[in-house]
Every structure is written in C-alpha cells, then in structure tokens.
Structure 1
Amino acid sequence: MSTSHVSHTLDKGWQASLALRFTHTPDKTLLYTAKHTGPLTVQRPFYPEGETCHLYLLHPPGGIVGGDRLDISVHLEANSHVLITMPGASKFYRSSGPRARLNQHFYIEEGATFEWLPQDTLFFPGSNAALRSVFHLHHASTLLAWELLCLGRPTIGETFSHGSIESRMEVWIDDEPVLIERQHLADGCLDPVAHHPWIGTLLFYPASEEHLETVRERLGPLDNFAGATLTDGLLSVRFLSHDNLICQRVMRDIWQSLRPLLTLKTACSPRIWQT
C-alpha cells in the first residue's frame, strides 16, 4: 500500500483516491493490491467465514466537505468473493459553494461475488454533493449491494432545507447498461421523495422470480413506500422511510434471506455492525 503527498486547501479540498484489487487463491480471496492517496484507506481483511474476504473501508475523518473529490475503484478478479462495509456513516457537510464529489466504480469479473454493504450516507443541510456508483458486472458474476441516503438529521428534527444532491447509480452487464438511475434534490424541495428523509436502494444479480417474491414478502414494514422490480436478471429494491431502524432491519433481513440463494452461503454479518 502506498501513500503520496496530497495537498488540501480551502479552495480545492481533499483530492483522494483508493484502488483495490482482489484475487482468488485455492484457500481464500486475497487483497492483492491497495493503493491510496489522501484520507481513504482500508483495515486489514477479516476471514470470519473461510475464504470470503471481509474488508472495512475508511472514509476521511470527520466527513466530506465542499471541494473534496474522492475516487474509489474496486476490482474483483475471477472467482473471488469480497464483502465490503464501513465502520460508520459517510457524511457530506454543508458547503459555502464548492461541490463535493464521491465516485465509486466496481468491476466484478466472471465467477466473482461482490457484496457492497456500506453504512448510510448522511447529507447535512447546505451540502453540495455529487455521488456516483457504477457496477460493471460479467454475466456470470454475482452482486449484492445496497445504498441508504439520509437527508438532513431527522433524529434531531433537521431536514434537508437547502443545498443540492446529485445521486447517480449504474449497473452494466457485459458492457451493456441495465440500470441508470438519477436523483436530483435542490433548494429544499423534497417532493421527489415525498418528504421522506431516508432513501434506500438494494441490488441483486443474478435474480429470478423466486428472489423477487422473497423480497416482496419482507417489504411490509415499509408500508406503501417500497417496491421491487426484476429486469434482465437484476433485482432492484427501492424504498422511502421516516425511520432509520426500520430501514436497517428490512435491508439486513432482505440481504440475509437472499445471500444463501445467490451465494450458497448463510449470512455472516460483519462484526462492526454490532458495535
């Protein structure tokens, strides 16, 4: 792992990057290379279930501010299996004008399994943020991923009263687009999300009608603000909520239910979730 000098000024912010590459061996999946600049890094891999590599990604201390640009690249070689999560929430703080950007690109080769299970992403009122997540899949790879966005700090009655958020999620299979989804929120207008502070998305591939029904059975606690669709083998789950505890419970319940069906492995929750 290498670290190069990174300048940080009030005008430019942090310019940080993290590039991870994993390879499969007869015994386990290894973190083959990890290169970073700036305040992005990972902890040492864990192996709580044998060959599957569990990894904790560390975002900048204190969060992301206006002018910051973070680029994350994760590459899984054939037949590797990686689960990545984070110790805590990602935070976009209010900005005086400059935009903060987080770009995440994931490459999953043939036979590889990737579980992207980050904690929630919190947007403070007044933040100016752009978040992009792109999954590049092989048709014979497996994906279990989620994203949970929080607008403001609802636990203290704070809404996303001003600021701007550009969120974009893409899924490509064999270089063909299967999902390209964009969300734009600005100037305190939360009509697009029916004024819910929590926005959730889950993705599973390859999925079937059986998986779709399994998910729909578990969306009840989210009332009428949740749905699931199946398109070209990609199962997409979307929901809105006012309650973070319900969000966490439903998301983990869905993941725990589908993981054995997609990976033939029972759910092994990262221990950091229990702290």
Structure 2
Amino acid sequence: MVMTMNTVSSPAARGYGADRQWLATLDLQLVPTGDKTYLKQLAFTGPLRIQRPFYPEGGVCHLYVLHPPGGLVSGDQLNINAHGAANSQTLLTTPSAGKVYGRDSDGVPQGQSVHLTLAENAECEWLPQETIVYNDANAVLDTRIELENGARFIGWDLVCLGRPASGVSFSEGSLSQSIRLWRDGRLLFNERLQLTANSTMHHSRAGLNNNSVFGTLVACGTEFDSTLLKTLRAELTSPAFTVTQRLGVLLVRYLGEDMNECRAGMWRAWALIRPMLLGRPACTPRIWLT
C-alpha cells in the first residue's frame, strides 16, 4: 500500500468570513490480488482517515471511513474518492452518524462529496450511517457513482433533519442533496433535492410532507426479477417504504419520522438484495454493533 499525506493551508482556511474553507480529502485505490482485494493506495489531506482493512468474509475488503471531528461546521468540505479496479470487492461504511451543524453568521455552506468509480466487474457497497442535518445548517451532500461494464453497486443515503428525538425541528437552514449513477457513461439515475426549511417542498405532500427522516437505497448491476421486488415489499411493511425499479436501477425509499425504522428497513433490504446482486449473504460490519 502506498500512503501519502499533504497539508493544505491558506489565508481563508486560517480565518473567518464568507470565503472560509476547511478541506479534507480521502482517495482510495482498491485492487484485487489473488483471492483478496487490497487497499493499494491511500492519500489524504485534513481530518479524513480509514481504519485498517478488515476481511470478515474472506476476500471482500471492509473499510471504515473516519472523520475524527465528528461533524461539519461552516466551510468544511469532505471529498471522498474511491476507485475499485476490475474484479475488486469493497465495502465502505462509517463508525457513527455524520453531523452537519448550524451555519455561521455568513451562512457559509458545509458538505460532503462522494465519488465512486468501478471498473469492469468491480463490486462496491457504500453503506454510511445516517447524516443528521442540524437546525440552521447550510448542507450540501453529493454522491456520484460511475460503473463500467459488469460492475455492481449497492449504496444508500439516509438523512435526518433536525433532532426530532430531542424535540428540535429543522425550522431554519437549507439542504442540497444529489445522487447520480452512470453505467458506461450513460446517466441512469439523477436525483436532486433542493430544500429550504419551512418551504413548500418541506411541508407539501408532493415534497417531504412535514417528515424529518428520509433515505434512498440504490442498487445496480443486474436485472432484478419481480420476485425480489415482491419480497422487499412484503418485508418492508411500513407504508413509509417504497420499492421501485427502472433502467436496471433498484430503489428502496423511506419517508417518515423514525430513523431507527429507516435504518432497520434499509439493513433488511440490503440483506435481501446482496445475495442476488453479489452472490453472497449479508455480512454486517461489526462497527454497526458497537
């Protein structure tokens, strides 16, 4: 494994104001060798790291992405880039919920960009724990997935607006969220949410309908048969879940008020989809259980 570290410093990064910027990047290269996938190269700047690779199911490389500060303040920008070489097998997750705190007086945005590229017949699972968007945050979340021929992907994005369990609503602030997936250069899935607190999008039935928790699971890499869709719908009995498929992209969505319900349902959906898509049973990352 090759590891590099760079330190970036600028006047804006050291000061305050509308142009403040605190950057962190993580670049991963995953390569199969023999019967295992190895972390061939790791490069990072700022407070983004990974724990050592784990192999709880043989050849699949499990990686835990760490952000030691634990949350994003105004000016923070996390950039996570992972490339899976041909025939690699990788699972990426996080040890805890991500947090986007309230913005500063200049309203400087804070956010995260995730870019995953998979070469021919590579496999990747992007399964982070949820993101909590605090009241008065100015959050920007962007996920891009690019698949080459035969590549397979499962991933999700789970979001909680405010802290409803503590009685704190998302009454001020904004969230920009985008999820895009390409197959061989063709855009198959393109979704963007541009949400301002207390807007029509926030309250209307055509939007979030006053709900604070939502999530999307995306799976792509094979044509999912109707039996799987029926099984998913039978297992996810809450009306907060929906299951659809279009252009070979399987979507499981949640819109409701309970992150525990959302998380548990997504874990169950993943356990049902994984054997069909990747040919192996679910192997729960142990960090989820600690």
**Residue of structure 1 aligned with 2:80, choices 72, 77, 82:** 72
The structure-2 alpha-carbon separation of the partners of 1:266 and 1:187, relative to structure 1 and needing over 3 Å to count, comes to closer
Separation of aligned partners in 2, 1:63 and 1:105: 20
Matched, 1:95 2:97: no
Which one-letter code corresponds to 1:164 in the other structure? Answer: S
The structure-2 alpha-carbon separation of the partners of 1:110 and 1:214, relative to structure 1 and needing over 3 Å to count, comes to farther
Corresponding residue for 2:94?
86
C-alpha deviation, 1:232, in angstroms: 1.5
Separation of aligned partners in 1, 2:29 and 2:96: 23
Matched, 1:230 2:245: yes
Separation of aligned partners in 1, 2:70 and 2:97: 10
Matched, 1:220 2:230: no
Corresponding residue for 2:187?
177
Corresponding residue for 2:124?
114
Secondary structure of 1:46's aligned partner:
coil
Matched, 1:124 2:134: yes
Matched, 1:137 2:147: yes
Separation of aligned partners in 1, 2:143 and 2:75: 19
Matched, 1:36 2:44: yes
What whole-Å deviation, never above 9, does each CA across 1:238-267 have from its counterpart, x for those lacking one?
111211221121111111111111111111
Separation of aligned partners in 2, 1:211 and 1:141: 20
Separation of aligned partners in 1, 2:112 and 2:263: 23
Unaligned runs of 5+ in 1: none
Separation of aligned partners in 2, 1:158 and 1:237: 27
Task: Indicate conservation of the 8 Å contact 2:100/2:111, yes or no.
Answer: no
Separation of aligned partners in 1, 2:88 and 2:281: 17
C-alpha deviation, 1:212, in angstroms: 2.1
Separation of aligned partners in 2, 1:95 and 1:131: 15
Task: Indicate conservation of the 8 Å contact 1:39/1:61, yes or no.
Answer: yes
Corresponding residue for 2:176?
166
The equivalences for 1:199-218 within 5 A come to 199-205=214-220, 206-208=222-224, 209-218=226-235
The equivalences for 1:18-33 within 5 A come to 18-33=26-41
C-alpha deviation, 1:41, in angstroms: 1.0
What whole-Å deviation, never above 9, does each CA across 1:181-234 have from its counterpart, x for those lacking one?
01111133322211111111001112413332232222212x2x3222211211
Aligned alpha-carbon RMSD (Å): 1.3
Task: Indicate conservation of the 8 Å contact 1:13/1:65, yes or no.
Answer: no
C-alpha deviation, 1:69, in angstroms: 1.6
Q: Normalization by structure 2: what TM-score?
A: 0.91
Task: Indicate conservation of the 8 Å contact 2:214/2:254, yes or no.
Answer: yes
Separation of aligned partners in 1, 2:76 and 2:95: 21
C-alpha deviation, 1:236, in angstroms: 1.1
Which one-letter code corresponds to 2:289 in the other structure? Answer: Q
Task: Indicate conservation of the 8 Å contact 1:85/1:118, yes or no.
Answer: yes
Corresponding residue for 1:53?
61
**Residue of structure 1 aligned with 2:261, choices 233, 237, 246:** 246
Separation of aligned partners in 1, 2:143 and 2:133: 16
C-alpha deviation, 1:6, in angstroms: 2.9
Separation of aligned partners in 1, 2:233 and 2:36: 34
The equivalences for 1:148-159 within 5 A come to 148-159=158-169
What whole-Å deviation, never above 9, does each CA across 1:119-149 have from its counterpart, x for those lacking one?
0001000000111000001231111111100
The structure-2 alpha-carbon separation of the partners of 1:127 and 1:60, relative to structure 1 and needing over 3 Å to count, comes to farther
Separation of aligned partners in 2, 1:107 and 1:172: 10
What whole-Å deviation, never above 9, does each CA across 1:8-43 have from its counterpart, x for those lacking one?
433423111111010011120000101000011111
Secondary structure of 1:202's aligned partner:
strand
Secondary structure of 1:217's aligned partner:
helix
Matched, 1:147 2:147: no
Which one-letter code corresponds to 1:138 in the other structure? Answer: E
Task: Indicate conservation of the 8 Å contact 1:20/1:75, yes or no.
Answer: yes
Unaligned runs of 5+ in 2: none
